[in-house]
Amino acid sequence: MDHSIYRDPSRETWRILRIMSEFVEGFDTMSDIGLAITLFGSSRSKPETQEYRDAERVAAALVGHDFAVITGGGPGIMEAGNKGAFEAGGKSVGLNIALPHEQKPNPYQNISIEFEHFFPRKVMFVKYAVGLICFPGGFGTLDEFFETMTLVQTRKTPAIPVVLFGSRFWTPLIDFMTHTLRDEFATISPEDLNLYKLTDDVDEAVDHVRMCVLRALPELRQLNSAEEAAIPRAERITGEGTRYGLTQKRQNRK
């Protein structure tokens, strides 16, 4: 029997400490960036593509409205987002990931963190963002989009504006969610399709995010201890940026 899949417990303890250090560095670095928008998209998009140019323009426009811009720190759409924010004089955040194949951080980051583990990095993408804009991308982009949808749908996080940018790319997926998930199998509710906005227009994407954030500003401010204590525990925000939620009651089987 091959025992190579089993982990050495002593080594696992050190892994936990490494993971903790990534959370600590992330929280410490990100805690004062202010209102930020996360941009997701493919690492393979070239500078001459329309989606790269659009991401660059979106990021610059967001900085013009005093938002910081967060990306995964790599090439493609991530580079475009950081470049647009950096050259517009704003906060350009790159949450870089160490991969088996080298991913070179793009040079347009003025705030940069490197992660070895995906899940602390994914927490930072959502915990410190008040909005999300998804450009065409691969498995990673879809993963990040659906994880955010799950958090918002289940109310584990407060609702944040989510924009799907690029109708030619996103329409087939929306058709699948509409006709297969909603209509045929009823695995989502009709209102779940209202959790995002589809657009091809830079100004519309930025204005949608900006207006949603302006309406939510009273809820985004830091609460004092008395205000937080007045909120039911299930609705309070954890350190991860999600709500505590209701504790599941276990039923003992006889």
What one-character-per-residue DSSP string does 39-90 give? EE--TT--TTSHHHHHHHHHHHHHHHTT-EEEE-SSSTHHHHHHHHHHHTTS
pLDDT at 188: 98
pLDDT in tens, 47-82: 999 999 999 999 999 999 999 999 999 999 999 999
pLDDT at 15: 86
pLDDT at 231: 77
| Structure confidence at residue 101 as a pLDDT band (50, 70, 90) | confident
pLDDT at 230: 77
The alpha carbons of the chain give a radius of gyration, in whole angstroms, of: 19
**Residue 254 clears pLDDT 70, i.e. is over it:** no
Measuring CA to CA, which residue among 18, 26, 25 is closest to residue 116? 18
Q: How far is CA 67 from the centre of its chain?
A: 15
Mean pLDDT over residues 91-110, rounded? 91
Is residue 101 within 8 A of residue 62, CB to CB? The reply is no
| Structure confidence at residue 245 as a pLDDT band (50, 70, 90) | confident
pLDDT at 202: 98
pLDDT at 208: 98
Domains present along the chain, CATH in parentheses: 25-218 (3.40.50.450)
How many whole angstroms separate alpha carbon 88 and alpha carbon 83? 8
What pTM was estimated for this model as a whole? 0.90
Give burial (CB, 10 Å; 0-12/13-18/19+) of 88.
Answer: middle
Please name the residues in contact with 205: beta carbons below 8 A apart, sequence gap of 6 or more.
58, 133, 163, 165, 197, 199
3-state secondary structure of 237: strand
Is residue 67 within 8 A of residue 35, CB to CB? The reply is yes
Please count the other Cβ atoms lying within 10 Å of the Cβ belonging to residue 242: 17
**Residue 1 clears pLDDT 60, i.e. is over it:** no
Concatenating the DSSP letter of every residue in 84-97 gives HHHHTTS-EEEEEE
Angle between helices 118-127 and 139-153 (to 10 degrees): 50
User: Lowest-confidence range among 25-34, 138-147, 229-238?
Assistant: 229-238
Looking from the CA of 193 toward its CB, the CA atoms found within 13 Å total 18
